[in-house]
Structure 1
Amino acid sequence: MFNVEHIRQDFPILHRQVNGKPLVYLDNAATSQTPQAVIDAIVDYYSNYNANIHRGVHSLSQEATDAYEEARIKIQHHFNAKFSHEIIFTSGTTHGINLVANGFSSLLKKGDEIIVSALEHHSNIVPWQMLCERSGATLKVIPMNLEGELIMSEYDKLLSAHTKLVFVNHISNALGTINPIKYIIDEAHKVGAAVLIDGAQSCPHIKPDVQALDVDFYVTSAHKMCGPTGEGMLYGKEDWLNKLPPYQGGGEMIDQVTFEKTTYAGLPHKFEAGTPNICGGIAFGAAIDYMNGIGFDAIADYEHELLEYATAKLSEIEGLKIYGTSKQKTSVVSFNLEGIHPYDVGTILDKLGIAVRTGHHCAQPIMDFYKIPGTVRASFAFYNTKEEVDTLVTGVKKAKMMLS
């Protein structure tokens, strides 16, 4: 049985006040909150076996190494990767994207084409623009429609023998649109292109199966799914990871070093130079355990209820416009009040203890498409309640009254 009140007891921060009001945390697309089980894993590491990994012969190092590599295996199983060495620990989604983009610098040439979508976060646009500048490749864009959906017929036209890479987000952080990534992957493979999927917004809501998707690269961040900041994951097919050169040089990623020549370690260490965020990796594993304990089907069902409830309630407010009305959507409602800047709405809501995100959400091309400066974004997680949605609606009505 899914019991949201019971689940809320696992999150200490949900019981605090902001500006004298009970916290209503609706900024989950930016970062999720952390359950006590993950906090305990962090405290346990620093309290009992804090040591560097892989290189030590002493007991603490071995314990830390075992816990860190066990976390890698948990992540492998969660995403159904074929091998644990296909899981590369990163500092987050942005790091994973840049690692792949850097690797492709040596594989692309002038005349090659890479495709991005109009729904991307800046972190899945800028690294590819930089790659094009270095390689001479051309960047093409899958357009979107007014509902916030990608136009697949236009994607089909963009694909050609020149296409080498396609990269899209699984779910739009600004609008909540769930993209048809299986179709995108399959069509790209027909022309021999590799595909990277930005899963930062999907992994809190969906349990991706990278083998079933047949995706070449998949990236995500721990802090979006109840884990710590500064930790993330790049999944890459073994063949592709072997083709890409190392992203950084240093300790851990080497096999042999001489002043004449250095040879590199095998996967995954080839891409994990230096001392990693050991505690972060272990805590990421704990977060995955926690979310799987609740169950992703139960999470998805409950969050869909919240989405429908919030959409209906907010739509009743005169002058409120929702952006992103795709039929396939996750628990994000992005909206504006007519004639009122989203920042001003967010400021009023904060005074009422309601945390939302305002602005362009690092997705400025989307806002340019709609010809708006930004939106107010309420993003829901499995620990939010319909009562909190009601508080949001009341707050938006008050903001409208005060600012009109």
Structure 2
Amino acid sequence: MNVQSVRQMFPILDQEVNGHPLVYLDSAATSQKPKQVIDAIEDYYKRYNSNVHRGVHTLGSMATDGYEGAREKVRKFINAKSMEEIVFTRGTTTAINLVASSYGRANVGPEDEIVITPMEHHSNIIPWQQLAKATGATLKYIPLQKNGTIALSDVEETVTENTKIVSVMQVSNVLGTINPIKEIASVAHKHGAVMVVDGAQAVPHMKVDVQDLDADFYAFSGHKMCGPTGIGVLYGKKKLLKNMEPIEFGGEMIDFVGLYDSTWKELPWKFEGGTPIIAGAIGLGAAIDFLEEIGLDNIEKHEQKLVAYAMSQLEKIEGVTIFGPGPDERAGVLTFNCDDVHPHDTATVLDAEGVAVRAGHHCAQPLMKWLEVTATARASFYVYNTEEDVDAFVKALIKTKEYFGDVFG
């Protein structure tokens, strides 16, 4: 993989921020978009903008082909059995909420359990909290090891015959931890529970095979994988989706509407009420083409190399704490704090040097409590980052420590 050639495909990277070349290290929040994706969206709006599934005219047919063609690209990308198992949503959050509101309300009761982990993003905590409150079910947490990983023995102790849903992120957006989803799913299924996976931080960075993982539901977002904002995917096993009720009602998702009753379309359209996210789906399809051309294996190896290099450099800086497991057990996410410097101050000084990182609780407040911090700073790497980006980041971080050392020393 020629990283310099890849970088040239991202117009936004060719600029200066605060007088310095932009070093973008916030891809865990949202990735940048290659020209191929931008062009695909522009082409739709310029050349064949139309609604889908309705019109018989040429533009309508072209738009429908583009929209449903993107669904087939998603199916192949995650190795789902059928296009019927691919539901377009607004993103990971909407996808998980769909499962909690539709499958959860119909299948979880007062004597049941929902099992998650303390490392989850808020979008994989709050829907289950609300489901537990609405049904009287018990919300349980798989404990974390000291380095922020999950031990299968703890999974086996937490999941019981009363567990109906197990929901775990494949990759932590804070710790970078890569969780053993296939093994956790096996434990869940042994007890008759369904396995829900938050794949927002996994799908952009590594090959995902939902059949091999044996995930019952798998959710991810387009904007973290070089696609546009506002589009996401819920994969669900056909036998589960078929028995679920939609949670949004209106046009597009109906088969027949009478004065007092209505029936729904077949899968997956019964879950896609209203005018769908057409441009977003087409852009997502272009992003998949882009990622597959580079190769997910190449992307994963590149990011592992970068995060290992970055960790080795940060470990040389006195007073920097790195959170999470070692480089062999994590994806391209590096969360850290500088002693006596608030993460927001760290990010502000880094930004003055042209380096974009994230600071805050990263929508993971329970995990912050477990780490015994109020906030952290986070650098996250992607296909367009280089070792030179890491060097610029480290240099700016040393400058940050020196600045605050002079101020408070």
* TM-score bracket for the superposition, by shorter chain length: over 0.9
Partner deviation per Cα, 1:90-141 (whole Å, 9 max, x = no partner): 0000000000000111221101101011110000000000111111111000
Tell me if structure 2 keeps the 8 A contact 1:118–1:150.
no
Q: Percent identity?
A: 52
C-alpha displacement of 1:211: 0.9
How many angstroms apart in 2 are the aligned matches of 1:336 and 1:17? Answer: 26
Task: Name the residue aligned to 1:398.
Answer: 399
- Give SS of 1:336's match: strand
- Give SS of 1:223's match: coil
Q: Which amino acid aligns with 2:383?
A: F
> Which runs of no fewer than 5 residues in structure 2 stay unpaired?
none
| Residue 386 (structure 2) pairs with residue 385 (structure 1) | yes
C-alpha displacement of 1:303: 1.0
How many angstroms apart in 2 are the aligned matches of 1:27 and 1:305? Answer: 17
Aligned counterparts, 1:175-186, within 5 A: 175-186=175-186
How many angstroms apart in 2 are the aligned matches of 1:318 and 1:137? Answer: 47
Partner deviation per Cα, 1:28-56 (whole Å, 9 max, x = no partner): 10000000000000100000000000011
Question: How many corresponding residue pairs?
Answer: 403
Partner deviation per Cα, 1:260-301 (whole Å, 9 max, x = no partner): 211111100110000011000011000000000000111111
| Residue 67 (structure 2) pairs with residue 68 (structure 1) | yes
Task: Name the residue aligned to 2:42.
Answer: 43
After the TM superposition, which segments of 4 or more aligned residues of structure 1 sit over 2 Å from their partners?
Answer: none
How many angstroms apart in 2 are the aligned matches of 1:212 and 1:324? Answer: 26
Task: Name the residue aligned to 1:17.
Answer: 16
Aligned counterparts, 1:239-250, within 5 A: 239-250=239-250
Q: Which amino acid aligns with 1:311?
A: M
C-alpha displacement of 1:151: 3.2
How many angstroms apart in 2 are the aligned matches of 1:260 and 1:221? Answer: 36
TM-score with structure 2 setting the length = 0.97
How many angstroms apart in 1 are the aligned matches of 2:367 and 2:156? Answer: 21
Task: Name the residue aligned to 2:353.
Answer: 352
C-alpha displacement of 1:57: 1.3
Aligned counterparts, 1:50-199, within 5 A: 50-103=49-102, 104-199=104-199
CA-based RMSD: 0.8
Task: Name the residue aligned to 2:338.
Answer: 337
Task: Name the residue aligned to 1:316.
Answer: 316
> Which runs of no fewer than 5 residues in structure 1 stay unpaired?
none
How many angstroms apart in 1 are the aligned matches of 2:376 and 2:222? Answer: 25
How many angstroms apart in 1 are the aligned matches of 2:124 and 2:297? Answer: 28
| Residue 387 (structure 2) pairs with residue 362 (structure 1) | no
Task: Name the residue aligned to 1:225.
Answer: 225
How many angstroms apart in 2 are the aligned matches of 1:386 and 1:207? Answer: 23
- Give SS of 1:168's match: strand
TM-score with structure 1 setting the length = 0.99
How many angstroms apart in 2 are the aligned matches of 1:370 and 1:48? Answer: 51
Tell me if structure 1 keeps the 8 A contact 2:155–2:187.
no
Task: Name the residue aligned to 1:288.
Answer: 288
Q: Which amino acid aligns with 2:168?
A: V
How many angstroms apart in 1 are the aligned matches of 2:228 and 2:260? Answer: 40
How many angstroms apart in 1 are the aligned matches of 2:4 and 2:187? Answer: 44
- Give SS of 2:369's match: helix
Tell me if structure 2 keeps the 8 A contact 1:334–1:377.
yes
Q: Which amino acid aligns with 2:151?
A: I
- Give SS of 2:223's match: helix
